Structure 1
Amino acid sequence: MARELVATARLWAARAAVSELGVHARHLRRLWARPGTLLGVDGWPPTRGERLFGRWNYFAQAHLIDCLVDAQERNPTAARATSIARIVRSVRLRHGRRWVDEDYGDAAWLGLALMRAAQYTPVKIAVRDIVRGLRGAWTDHAGGGLWSRADENLKSVRVNGPATILLARCGDRVDMQRARAIAEWMEDSLLDEITGLVWVGLHVNLDGEVRETIKEAYTFIQGVYLGVCLELAAGDPVWAERAERTIIAVSEHLANNGVLRGQGGDDGGIYTGILARYLALAALRLPALTGASATGMAASHVAERLVMTSAAAAWRNRAVARGGPLFGPDWTIPARVPRSPRHKIAERELASQLGGWMVLEAAALLESSH
């Protein structure tokens, strides 16, 4: 049995590695041909605008960094460490030599990725600037939470989830208190008591009245909320219980025959990969957080099974393209190879390739723990 687990671990690591090679071959190129730069091109085959980074995706770059850090933790190399540092520098250069985006959610996701990349390149100033911006996004409208943008009326988990994790990881007492407040606000305002899932967010009037609850339960919303639960569970066991609840709810409502549900193209290609990442972390951490309780162990097993079944489906339905495997946004459907830059399918998009790569890295992480 032990020998079989080792063999499986090597198998998933190899699959994650070839997925990384595919993304590198098709999507990574220098920014405006400048030496020492590197960014993810949004589409493949790329349009002229995509090649010149006239069109680029700040959100996707954050998750590209995260994927590369996953790969570096799996199998460290000097070349990959250099790539991580170059992408971090290039994000700032392409973004007008600033870190903070007008979209607080994108900024929070980048902040989380930069924290993980800190051992490969200096990021202290970047994280400080992002955290400062997030602190200013909190208001008491609708009971609390962060705005999605300074000029919008939306308060969503897309912002509040990664911001909570980022603030909790800063180590500052005030930031930790704010993280707990945001997390409780999400629990009180956005939990669907029937399913155990978390809704997207609230549209809020300037007088603080809630105009509309956006009653959609995207996969990445559950993923980042699960990450919030794991981050806060060490100091409060109620958050471990909420993590268990979230895992079971995902299993019952957001998976088809054990495969996590796809969320379409554009940024949606990344969404289910984010959920897979946090499910893998939950599978590893919950037993210790719950004292190996029966419910904690059961939820851990469910989380692991969801990741492994989804990774197997993504790999089974991959297409063969230049450089390596190519993934679609729905891992239960065979992926298609785009014919040209004008072939508008999700498989062209960097987001879908990152989503597939993420679930394979999550599977490799779980197998290496056995």
Structure 2
Amino acid sequence: MVWADRAAAAEHAIRHRHLRRLWGLPGTVLGRSGWPPTLGDRLHRNWNYWWQAHLLDCLVDAELRDPDPGRRATLRRFVRTVRLRNFGSWINDYYDDIAWLALALQRVSGVTGIDLNGALRPIFARLGEGWSSDAGGGIWWRRGDTFKNAPANGPAAIAHARAGQIGRARELTEWMRATLVDPSSGLVWDGVRVDTGEVETYIYTYCQGVYLGACLELSEVEEAARTVGAVAANCAPGGVLRGQGGGDGGLFAGVLARYLALAALRLPSGVAVDAARALVLGSAQACWDNAIAAPGGPLFGPEWSEPAPASDDLRQHRARDLSVQLGGWLLLEAAASLE
């Protein structure tokens, strides 16, 4: 179980370097945004809400890989702490943020049995408020904004589908297909500015991932297979998923890896399954080979095909970002799921 062992090493590293109490309060745990930590990191001053949602998701991956009562206790504490750090609320003004948290909470509930309907209800209510007929449908990126994008609509579609709200999931997915999927390449563009009608044609890896995930939840086999092919042809030079820097970009390729692994597990055998599997395992091998030893375990770089920076240079490097380390951990859990 090579990949399971490597995923466990990534989990240990992040637990050692990033997981700490919130403001020193007993019974709390949250991920510090950087390592080595600044004073702001120690105080959890930077509230990277959606990074924490993915940390929670990674803990669920680890629990499915290797069930452990201690980790389940961590999951419970983590969920409570997210609400505490968010000043007693589950929601904020970013529809993508709350959709990511909904996905994580759905999975936490599934593996722990905790009733999280009290958290999910306000999230789904807010997502419902985000829908409008502007630009043909879809939900906004942020309240009060004029931008609609794949990173909000994709995870929302997956969350709605997993909640049994298939009609809304299909509406969101069909809106993405009609508005944001390049008909020639099959790649998913970033979003559309409703006030001008301008489509932002940037290609971000996580946009491909969430659209793929939505297609998988809706059993849209041909569209999912086409997306895998588009990713293989355009987003993975040398068979390794392309990185997109630190900050939020540190998570982008890891998100795509999660849904590529699901594609490899769920699609009928064939070219798309082989391609998805090769992308995950090839990227994971590169990520592991280019990691360096650091306190607690491996340290990953933002570009998996390149060596991670020496640890004494970290304060000036994006590899210190929690997002980058989560991206590597997410990838290794995806690889472990294919063993």
TM-score above 0.5: yes
- Secondary structure of 1:112 counterpart: helix
Tell me, in whole angstroms, the C-alpha distance in 1 between the residues paired with 2:313 and 2:79: 29
Residue 204 of structure 2 corresponds to 218
- Aligned partner (choices 20, 23, 28) of residue 29 of structure 1: 20
Are 2:72 and 1:81 aligned? Answer: yes
Alpha-carbon contact 2:240-2:283 (below 8 Å) kept: yes
Shift of 1:344: 2.8
In 2, are the aligned partners of 1:45 and 1:340 still within 8 Å (CA)?
Answer: no
- 2:35 is aligned to 44
Q: Work out which of the residue numbers 326, 331, 336 in structure 2 matches 1:354.
A: 326
Provide the residue aligned with 1:264 in structure 2. Answer: 245
CA distance in 2 between counterparts of 1:346 and 1:309 reads 23
Aligned residue among 129, 139, 152 for 2:122: 129
Number of positions where the alignment pairs a residue of Structure 1 with one of Structure 2 = 337
**Distance of 1:47 and 1:361 partners within structure 2:** 28
SS of 2:23's equivalent in the other structure is: helix
Task: Assess if the C-alpha contact under 8 Å between 2:250 and 2:302 holds in 1.
Answer: yes
CA distance in 1 between partners of 2:31 and 2:202 (Å): 29
1:231 aligns with 2:185: no
Cα distance in 1, alignment partners of residues 154 and 131 from structure 2: 13
User: What residue in structure 2 maps to residue 6 of structure 1?
Assistant: none
Q: 1:141 aligns to what?
A: 134
CA-to-aligned-CA distance 1:15-68 (integer Å, 9 cap, x gap): 000110000000000001111100000000111111011113101000001100
CA separation of 1:57 and 1:136: change in aligned 2, threshold 3 A: same
Find the counterpart in structure 1 of residue 144 from structure 2: 151
Alpha-carbon distance between aligned partners in 1 of 2:249 and 2:302, rounded to the nearest angstrom: 7
Trace 1:1-370 onto structure 2 (pairs within 5 A): 10-118=1-109, 119-120=111-112, 121-171=114-164, 175-205=165-195, 210-233=196-219, 239-287=220-268, 292=269, 297-339=270-312, 343-367=315-339
Return the letter of the residue paired with 1:306: L
| Larger gyration radius, structure 1 or structure 2 | 1
Q: 1:317–1:332: 8 Å Cα contact kept in structure 2?
A: yes
CA drift of 1:193 comes to 1.3
Q: Which residue of 2 aligns with 1:3?
A: none
Could you list the per-position Cα deviations for residues 139-192 of structure 1 after superposition, in whole angstroms to 9, with x for gaps in the alignment? 000100001111111000110000011111112xxx321111111111001111
Q: Deviations over 1:194-226 (max 9, x none)?
A: 211010000111xxxx43100011001000100
- The letter for the 2-side match of 1:211 is G
User: SS in structure 2 opposite 1:14?
Assistant: helix
Q: 1:101: Cα distance to partner?
A: 1.4
Q: 1:122 to 1:337 in 2, by over 3 A?
A: farther
Note if contact 1:338-1:347 (Cα within 8 Å) is conserved in structure 2: no
Structure 1 residue 122: deviation in Å? 3.2
Q: CA deviation at 1:319?
A: 1.1
Q: Which runs of 5+ in 2 are unaligned?
A: none
Q: Which of 311-320 and 53-62 deviates more?
A: 53-62
Percentage of identical aligned residues:
51
Say whether the 8 Å CA contact 1:338–1:348 is kept in structure 2. Answer: no
C-alpha distance in structure 2 between counterparts of 1:189 and 1:361, whole Å: 32
**Does the Cα contact within 8 Å between 2:215 and 2:221 map onto a contact in 1?**
yes
